[in-house]
A and B are shown apart, each in its own frame.
Chain A
Amino acid sequence: MKEGKPAIETHFCGVRVQLGADASLYLPECKTLLVSDLHLEKGKAQSKAAPLPRFDTSEGIAKLSAAITRTNAKEVIFLGDSFHTNLHAFQLPEIYRQQLINLAKDRAFIWITGNHDPDLPEFLPGQIVPNYSAAGLYFTHQIRPEEASISGLICGHYHPKARVSLQIRQLSGRCFIQDETRMIMPAFGIFTGGLNILDPAIQKLLSKRQIAHFCHAGKIYKFPVDRKVFLKN
């Protein structure tokens, strides 16, 4: 009987990767865990139009901790927009700072800056960089013009999500989307909205042969992007 799994093992540009239904990516060979767009403290953002309770940070860090435990990663790379704004990063409450420091014990934390958090405070454990490479892959938040021709690139920023049509209903969920040379990661954060993978902003970054790894109800499924099955909003 067919069943989805909580993580899928596959290859990306010759490198073994594990894609998790929790929106994390793990490189088993170098024990590196990648997460993107956490948008911590978004709940605190006093948006009149969209009031959101303020528990997302503790939940986000808990989710991160679970992913680290599951994989036993030795290195954690944050692909940008880890905090909702610079201000929130710098004003991160002490309790969350401590939690991050604890998680970073015996591990390397690499913080890539994003457009929401171009500056990061020094109290964060680990390194702060504009981009990073490991295991033959290149990591950045949003693809800059000078990065356009890099192969084996993994980025964040777009919060890809997909709408899948089954016979009896439609389902929505975060997903990884890639072609032969690039992969865009879904957002890891609790409150993040998403952009449909069929949107031109994402489509223009990828070639025709696309694969989407669709996350739903704790399981992840691999779909070549087929217009009959994937819907725009």
Chain B
Amino acid sequence: MRLPQQFADWFNAKGWKPYPHQQDIFVQSAAGRSVLLVAPTGAGKTLSGFLPSLIELSQNPQEGLHTLYLSPLKALAVDIARNLETPADEMGLDITIETRTGDTPQAKRNRQRAAPPNILLTTPESLELMLSWSDAAKLFGQLRYIIIDEIHALVGSKRGDLLALSLASLRHIAPTSQSIGLSATIAEPEEMRCWLSAKIDNVAIVQPQLDKDIQINILDSKAAYLPWAGHSALYAAAEIYALIKEKRPALIFVNTRAQAEMMFQALWRENDLNLKIGLHHGSLDVGQRRRIEAAMARSELDAIVATSSLDLGIDWADIQLVIQIGAPKDTSRLIQRVGRAGHQLDVPSHAVIVPANRFEVLEALAARLDVEAKRLDEMPQHAGALDVLSQHIVGRAVAGPFDEDKLYAQIITAPPYRHLSREDFDKVLDFVATGGYALSHYTQFQRLVKGVDGFWRLTSRRVATRWRMNIGTIVETSTMKVRMKGGAPLGDIEEYFVQSLTAGDSFIFAGRILEFVGVSAQQAIVRPCTAKEPKVPAYAGGRLPLSPGLAARVRAILQDRALHHYLPKQVREWLHLQAEKSILPPPDKLLVETFKRGQKFYMAAYGFAGRNAHQTLGMLLSRRMERQGYGPLGFVATDYAIAIWSRHLVTTPEALFSSDILGDDLEEWMAESTMLKRSFWQVAIIAGLIDKRAPGQEKTQKQVTINSDLIYDVLRTHQPSHLLLQATRQDAARGLTDIHRLADLLTSFEGNILHKNLSRISPLSVPLLLEVGREAVTASAVDELLSDLEATLLEEAFGYSSEEKLPSAHQGQLL
């Protein structure tokens, strides 16, 4: 089957030859199949996705919604729409193309509802909203194509959960539709079939064998001193600048916003050629980000320093080099980022990894070896979040009364919810309807009611209004707008950081050194200044932990002497020293070192299970050690290892590391942990228990947090099985606590501990102990600190110890 003449002519006129996979997609769609296209950047994915629609519409011009395109980014939807106009105009096609996002003006939205375009480009949140309209069935009834872009980025997140549920609802009212998913290179494309259709046999996978040549190098720094710890890589700023001079434009990826700001400043200090270097991250003002992106598209910039904010987006002209600052953590993500370089498929992509410390060198080498072996990290598979399901169920009721059995049948077609038990579904439904037992006497939580006809409906229109204002799964921490005195908005900063500033303090943000002037109308006002040591704001948001695949590769590198010659001299020597003074971590045992340092005894365990799992392990071990009288005082966790220090030496670590620590200890700790309160807060907002934005009520984050903390405590004590607690534990297990990974670690090394008791600190533990400022402190350490403080203050203030009497003014009087 060939492309219609009109299209073949158009390709010819552009001097392009259609890729085989572009033909494939057209052929498969014409045969009535849904398609997953898996390809790296530069493969003409977007045009591929729209070809079936454009062809059909060219042969059958019509009114009404024909194709729906979904993208996780508003900006992407807008850019793609603009790009689509080109072939549509040049071929003289009679097609209407429009976007709808949070930024679309109300008048335009109203008109789109009454007279929809042929092709609508929109976001998952807008789709969920449109599906709640009473005329949704009419709007989407004749839909032919659903195109889901960057689909790999959505799987595994709550946003993806919500999208999956929306798609299940959409396909129900649009039974004649076919789906086209556009994905970057991923490890297991087979897993994604079910996202395109419930009938997975009717889904074709088109994965062109494009051997995009990726060349990854690790910066072999000539710096005298490779840092032991820290993640900023500022030591290499001059060398990074040298790289940009050679190959531009360059994309420089860092892992956090603070790192982006600091590296940006550092590069400008090196900038003797006055290269145009830009900055891009999620806290910058939206207008600023769009300007930078546009400048890059016009090839006006030499380099951009960016966070994952640039992971998704439209293909650009000619990135010559991708620099990954800091360990990549995940090979799939690395490959996707590297793929941004070399827009054409036949041009190799160049990438350089700049490790920020010695351990990261190992990780960088592991990543390079994995990429060369084409080993990709798998996407995390999570069961669909229950708070998201709660939100969606309310949305179904807004659309109209529903039957619970039919709704359950529909929900389990959504991939993240395929294993949802009827029992859990009933629990979620009960929560949505009544708030769950503990809250059931508050009328505002009576959101649904079952009529005599057996159908569930909303208890009032107010529920719909509240729901509409709170759609989405992104719960932001409290931020404050930052504005230049006399004008331009610069972006958003965490509120707590602003609260720590006094007038005159300086900090870096948006690529500038700013002086804090004050707060006015809920905004932080600043002006430029040239302070010597400005503060660097910290941003909320977790860091990606080391993937299991990379962890395994790092362990292998440690053991394989032949690979050591790839390492820089300083790292080789360090490992050699470790082998001499202690031992390199063996592949089949958990290495645990103990040593004394100062007045404290240290225990270091090299689990390579990622930071989150180690952090949890630290909490659990502290509790156990506390009970057993070791007096633990604090611990620090990295992606590779954990170190705990205590008042007494641990002579038999085997007893501490048994997997039963994951039983009662874990339950108890999870019950007390403040980290869970934070998860609960987010869950409560997504599930609609607490409004981020209620009509007429502006709630500060503090008020909302206080309320949710109290509710959490009481639910925990009196109704531990409450749905929201279940959802919170689910979140915690997969996110910050990474329980599964910890469980794997403990069970695989059960009874297999290699204990080295040393007379002094080991070389391998040095980076751990230098993770300054990241220590967690145990309860008994807090007690000790408070008692010490008590003694000190009393001594200073009154010159006596707390056991003596407080001087009294005079006797009380009897009345």
Contacts and interface: CB of A to CB of B under 8 A. Distances in A.
A51 interface: yes
A219 B783 contact: yes
Nearest to B798: A224
A8 B787 CA distance: 13
A156 B150 CA distance: 60
A49 B699 contact: yes
Interface stretch (B71-79, B153-161, B435-443): B435-443
A221 B787 CA distance: 7
A223 B795 CA distance: 10
A223 B783 contact: no
Interface in B758-786: 775, 777, 779, 782-786
A52 interface: yes
A43 B719 CA distance: 15
A93 to B, nearest CB: 13
B711 A180 contact: no
Contacts of B706: 50, 193
Interface stretch (A107-115, A130-138, A197-205): A130-138
A190 to B, nearest CB: 8
A4 B781 CA distance: 11
B2 interface: no
* Residue from the set B438, B706, B786, B790 with the largest chain A CB neighbour count within 10 Å: B786
A13 B707 contact: no
Interface stretch (B48-56, B422-430, B805-813): B805-813
A52 B798 CA distance: 43
A222 B717 CA distance: 30
B48 to A, nearest CB: 50
A2 B808 contact: no
Given A56-B714, A211-B806, A224-B798, A137 B812 contact: yes
Given A10-B806, A136-B811, A223-B793, A46 B442 contact: yes
A10 B803 CA distance: 8
Contact of A52 (B711, B793, B811, B813): B711
Contacts of B794: 222-224
A14 B797 contact: no
A145 interface: no
B444 A226 contact: no
Contact of B812 (A4, A13, A169, A229): A13
B60 interface: no
B438 A2 contact: no
B715 interface: yes
Interface string A186-227: 000001010000000000000000010010110101111010
B714 A55 contact: yes
B814 interface: yes
A168 B445 contact: no
Given A151-B812, A223-B793, A53 B715 contact: yes
Contacts of B813: 136, 138, 150-152
A42 to B, nearest CB: 10
Contact of B714 (A53, A181, A219): A53
A8 B718 CA distance: 31
A10 to B, nearest CB: 6
A55 B787 contact: no
B688 to A, nearest CB: 12
Contacts of B787: 2-4, 221
Contacts of B797: 224, 226
Given A11-B806, A217-B779, A50 B703 contact: yes
Contacts of B811: 13-14, 136, 152
Contacts of B812: 13-15, 135-138, 151-152
Nearest to A214: B786
B107 interface: no
A191 B714 CA distance: 10
Given A133-B814, A169-B777, A2 B444 contact: no
Contacts of B668: none
Interface in B92-114: none
Contacts of B538: none
Contacts of A229: 789, 793
Interface in B695-741: 697, 699, 703, 706-707, 710-711, 714-715, 717-719
A54 interface: yes
A219 B442 contact: no
Q: How large is the interface on A (under 10, 10 to 19, 20 to 34, 35 or more residues)?
A: 35 or more
A84 B714 CA distance: 18
Nearest to B714: A53
B440 to A, nearest CB: 10
Interface string B747-765: 0000000000000000000
Nearest to A13: B812
Contact of B785 (A15, A53, A166): A166
Nearest to A169: B777
B421 interface: no
A70 interface: no
A180 to B, nearest CB: 4
A53 B718 contact: yes
Contacts of A193: 706
A175 B811 CA distance: 24
A49 B779 contact: no
A25 to B, nearest CB: 14
B777 to A, nearest CB: 6
B808 A11 contact: yes
A90 interface: no
A148 interface: no
A90 to B, nearest CB: 19
B815 interface: yes
A220 to B, nearest CB: 10
B708 to A, nearest CB: 10
Nearest to B647: A1
Contacts of A48: 444
B744 interface: no
Nearest to A56: B714
Given A11-B806, A13-B809, A152-B812, A221 B786 contact: yes
Contacts of B791: 2
Interface in A92-151: 133, 135-138, 150-151
A95 to B, nearest CB: 15
A134 to B, nearest CB: 9
Given A2-B791, A3-B783, A151-B813, A49 B703 contact: yes
A39 B796 CA distance: 38
A23 interface: no
Interface string B215-231: 00000000000000000
A54 B806 contact: no
A54 B785 CA distance: 36
B444 A52 contact: no
B513 to A, nearest CB: 28
B465 interface: no
B9 interface: no
Given A1-B784, A166-B786, A12 B798 contact: no
A9 B441 CA distance: 43
B788 interface: yes
A54 B793 contact: no
Interface string A159-186: 0000010111101000000001100000
A4 B786 contact: yes
Given A1-B647, A167-B785, 5 more contacts: A4-B786, A13-B808, A50-B706, A151-B810, A224-B794
Q: Please give me the 4 A-B residue pairs with the lowest Cβ-Cβ distance, nearest first.
A: A152-B812, A2-B787, A180-B809, A136-B812
12 contacts: A4-B786, A49-B697, A50-B703, A51-B442, A52-B710, A166-B786, A168-B775, A171-B782, A217-B782, A221-B786, A223-B789, A226-B796
Interface of B: 438-439, 441-445, 631, 647, 689, 697, 699, 703, 706-707, 710-711, 714-715, 717-719, 775, 777, 779, 782-791, 793-794, 796-798, 802, 805-806, 808-815
Interface of A: 1-4, 8, 10-15, 43, 46, 48-56, 59, 133, 135-138, 150-152, 164, 166-169, 171, 180-181, 191, 193, 211, 214, 216-217, 219, 221-224, 226, 229
